[in-house]
């Protein structure tokens, strides 16, 4: 009876020793060295079609990695350029060949890392580095508006240095133009024409948002002849959500800040034949003084509709000359009749208040007028008059990117209309 505890103790120690030995073997290779399972140099197992040392690769030539040994296979390939962009590629199901599926970027340098397994399952790796030849023709992009703080209705713009009519090339451009906002919102680009894009969210921007716009097109092939150029990034912020809603039939403008009414102003809008445009407009500029003449909108000098007036506190909402401005000559009609040539007129004190309250990008919406609806692109920023479904049709990524808007953003910018 006295020997039993000692036998139990010896058996326990034997089991402990076996466990320790097994654990040590699992952490290392066959020779017991913990480092022996590090990937070996796979240079002898694979073939790479990159350029010779000291030479540069043609961006139009696809990359290819294949195995020389029938028992070996490729397990992974990553190709990253100096901009941090990954080159898309495809690995065959049997692991024998990998090839790039998109063009390389021009004028950059790539690092290619290849992972392999030999016939015994031992891992291998190989890293290659090479440069690509520079592009000869570049597609430049300029972002707008200028850096600053804007209203929540301000669209972003991208002006290209060359036309891009092809849908696939347009998709490449869109993928390279990155917009990030804080708070995050859902948005999309719209191709106004072959060289002009606008970007807006599904709804207005949030108040007090930060918006960063940059191009990731540097060196990227857009067309057979054009590669993306480096572009200057842009940072914007938004202020309060200011909305001015004019009811032309009721002859009043209601101004809201962040959803709360802050003022209601009596106004006059366009009379019959000069009806103010309905729809959403965006403040384009503020001009403390403007000389307004009837000839600028096609009214013959000396006719009954002719005018030549000094105008103060003028907030522009269309390029063709529609303003919100002081109209002391029509104070008797403000709040009860429409007598203007298309502008929204109000008292001098109210116009000065409005001028000081709004900023570029703020919303000016007209309802209840017999006028046509503000056009989307040829007369300022009427972008918000397209619903979200129609807006997405202008994107090469979401809807085609070749809508027929019937507008021309190069339309001459006309003079004020009063």
Six-digit token string for 238: 């938004």
The H-assigned helical ranges of 75-233 are 167-176
d(CA 263, CA 68): 78
Peptide bond between residue 183 and the one before it cis (omega within 30 degrees of 0): yes
Judging by beta carbons within 10 Å of its beta carbon (0-12, 13-18, 19+), is residue 62 exposed, middle or buried?
Answer: middle
SS3 217: coil
d(CA 222, CA 167): 11
Half-sphere exposure of 141 (CA within 13 A, CB side): 33
Contact 56, 26 (CB under 8 A): no
Six-digit token string for 404: 């027929």
Alpha-carbon Rg for the chain, nearest whole angstrom, is 33
Judging by beta carbons within 10 Å of its beta carbon (0-12, 13-18, 19+), is residue 409 exposed, middle or buried?
Answer: middle
Place of tokens 């200011």: 242
80's CB contacts (< 8 A; 6+ apart) are 86, 87, 110, 111
Judging by beta carbons within 10 Å of its beta carbon (0-12, 13-18, 19+), is residue 412 exposed, middle or buried?
Answer: exposed
**13 an active-site residue?**
no
Active-site position among 198, 251, 341, 343: 343
Active-site position among 13, 325, 341, 398: 325
Contact 248, 369 (CB under 8 A): yes
DSSP H/E element including 100: strand 97-100
Contact 183, 205 (CB under 8 A): no
**343 an active-site residue?**
yes
Contact 281, 376 (CB under 8 A): no
Which residue numbers are catalytic?
Answer: 325, 343
């Amino acid at each position: 009876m006295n020997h039993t505890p000692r036998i139990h103790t010896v058996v326990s120690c034997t089991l402990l020793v076996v466990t320790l030995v097994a654990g040590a073997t699992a952490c290392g290779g066959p020779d017991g060295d913990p480092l022996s399972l590090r990937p070996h140099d796979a240079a002898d197992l694979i073939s790479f079609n990159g350029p010779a040392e000291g030479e540069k690769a043609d961006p139009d030539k696809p990359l290819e990695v294949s195995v020389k040994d029938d028992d070996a296979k490729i397990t992974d390939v990553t190709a990253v350029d100096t901009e941090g962009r990954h080159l898309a590629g495809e690995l065959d199901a049997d692991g024998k060949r990998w090839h790039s599926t998109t063009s390389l970027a021009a004028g950059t340098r790539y690092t290619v890392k290849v992972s392999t397994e030999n016939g015994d399952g031992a891992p291998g790796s190989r890293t290659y580095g090479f440069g690509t030849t520079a592009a000869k023709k570049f597609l430049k992009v300029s972002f707008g508006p200028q850096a600053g703080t804007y209203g929540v209705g301000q669209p972003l713009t991208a002006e290209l240095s060359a036309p891009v009519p092809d849908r696939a090339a347009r998709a490449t451009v869109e993928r390279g133009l990155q917009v990030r906002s804080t708070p995050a919102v859902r948005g999309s680009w719209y191709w106004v024409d072959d060289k002009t894009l606008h970007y807006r969210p599904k709804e207005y921007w949030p108040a007090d948002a930060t918006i960063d716009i940059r191009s990731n097109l540097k060196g990227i092939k857009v067309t057979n002849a054009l590669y993306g150029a480096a572009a200057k990034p842009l940072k914007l912020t938004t202020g309060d959500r200011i909305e001015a809603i004019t009811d032309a039939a009721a002859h009043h403008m209601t101004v809201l800040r962040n959803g709360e009414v802050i003022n209601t102003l009596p106004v006059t809008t366009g009379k019959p034949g000069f009806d103010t445009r309905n729809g959403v407009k965006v403040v384009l500029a503020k001009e403390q003084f403007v000389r307004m003449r009837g000839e600028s909108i096609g009214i013959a000098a000396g006719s009954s509709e002719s005018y030549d007036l000094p105008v103060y506190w003028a907030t522009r909402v269309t390029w063709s000359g529609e303003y919100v401005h002081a109209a002391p000559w029509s104070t008797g009609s403000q709040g009860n009749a429409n007598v203007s040539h298309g502008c929204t007129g109000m008292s001098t004190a109210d116009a000065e208040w409005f001028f000081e309250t709004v900023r570029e990008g703020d919303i000016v919406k007209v309802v209840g007028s017999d006028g046509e609806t503000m056009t989307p692109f040829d007369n300022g920023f009427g972008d918000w008059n397209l619903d979200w479904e129609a807006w997405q049709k202008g994107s090469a990524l979401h809807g085609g990117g070749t809508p027929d808007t019937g507008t021309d953003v190069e339309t001459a910018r006309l003079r004020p209309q009063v």
